[in-house]
Amino acid sequence: MYDVVLLTLGSERDASGGCGGGGACCGGATGADTDPATGADGGAPGDADRCATGQPRVPVLACADALNARGARVQTVTARSDAEIDEVLSRLDGPPRPDGLTWPDPDGKTRLVVATASDGQLRAVLRRLVRRYAPAPSRRPADLPADRTLPDLPPVAVLPLDPARGGTHRDLAAQLGLPRDPAAVAAAVLGGTPRRLDLLRNDGGSVTLDGALLGAADDAGRPLQWRARVEVDDTILTDGDELLLACAIGNAGGYAMLDDVTLLAAPDPADGQVEVAVAVPVVVRSALGRKRVRLEVRRARGRAVSVLPREGKVPYLDDGVEGELTRKRSWWIEPGAWAVWAS
């Protein structure tokens, strides 16, 4: 018999200083760059009154009923702070290690279902998992894979709370083909198999599950131009001297398209690589000498990517959470570091 925790974050919208970002509210944090010293996202501290206080949503109750019907012991938890998320995650800990590290239990009988209204909420939970189990570089154990900075994270089941995100504007669960019906989610968490996926970590202390899109548009919807140096491993996509319209960093395919332009050709969340693309406006002349602007898309794949803004702030979306990049940011891939329960 399994113990199953159905975890819901206390806010259904992203809030400054939210859960996973060091504040009181839940759902992933908005704001400026993450502080490398604390790992907390920028922006004002979260206010407790921003968090939802109602009863569990209907899909959560339906999933709990389906889990109970299959013989599981179920507890529903609404977390409104990082500490409350961490208390739930502590149930996934393994036995004490000789080196004193906290490590997940590969044979644990507790399984976690995360009810999410957005990819940012799922990211908030994964960020806390990484903080719990990733050892400091000075304490790196010998049994950690050479291409990883953290052990295999415990699998999580995803219970989407927004049916619309399975349609045209697809969330990560839809991209991965995960079940959305509460009964099907219950079947996956109790009788499915873990599907291991790549994780993007960054030097700001956060993680990315789907991808990031750098750039913005004005009030009329016209893309704003900006400059940055973008490198993927040893490949320089742009040296920072030319104007850009967008930069997509893809683990999965949420930011593969920009309007009708294909940025990412074939992002794969399980291939051990990150795909990166920059969109560069290029002026060309026709045979009649007329000037026009075409969009040149440059792509590269690798293990790591860095973006160094040349001036000002670069707005971005990271797993749907807004922020502004003001200094160099690096992402690197952790192959197969996290997992979802799949049917």
pLDDT of the chain, 343 residues: tens digit per residue? 899 999 999 864 333 344 544 443 344 444 444 433 334 443 333 333 334 445 678 999 999 999 999 999 999 999 999 999 999 999 999 999 999 999 999 999 999 999 999 999 999 999 999 999 999 999 999 999 999 999 999 999 999 998 777 765 689 999 999 999 999 999 999 999 999 999 999 999 999 999 999 999 888 888 899 999 999 999 999 999 999 999 999 999 999 998 889 999 999 999 999 999 999 998 776 666 677 778 899 999 999 999 999 988 999 999 999 999 999 999 999 999 999 999 8
pLDDT given for residue 286 in this prediction: 67
Q: Is 287 exposed, middle or buried (0-12, 13-18, 19+ CB in 10 A)?
A: exposed
149 three-class SS: coil
Domain parsing of the chain, residue ranges: 3-11+56-191, 211-334
What is this structure's pTM? 0.86
Q: Which residues of 99-112 are buried (b: 16+ CB within 10 A; e: fewer)?
A: eebebbeeeeebbb
pLDDT number for residue 50? 37
Domains 3-11+56-191 and 211-334 alike in fold: no
Type of residue at 196: R
Its CATH architecture, for the domain 3-11+56-191, is: 3-Layer(aba) Sandwich (3.40)
Specify whether the CB–CB gap between 217 and 176 falls below 8 A. Answer: no
User: How many whole angstroms separate alpha carbon 264 and alpha carbon 241?
Assistant: 23
Q: For residue 234, give both structure tokens.
A: 């040893």
pLDDT at 164: 72
Give the span between the Cα atoms of 175 and 191, in whole angstroms.
21
CATH 2.60.200.40 matches 211-334: yes
- CA 224 to CA 217: how far, in whole Å? 5
Beta-bridge partner residues of 7: 77, 114
Q: Would strands 211-214 and 314-318 be described as parallel, antiparallel, or unpaired?
A: antiparallel
State the Cα–Cα distance between residues 302 and 10, nearest whole angstrom.
36
Please tell me the predicted confidence (pLDDT) of residue 170: 85
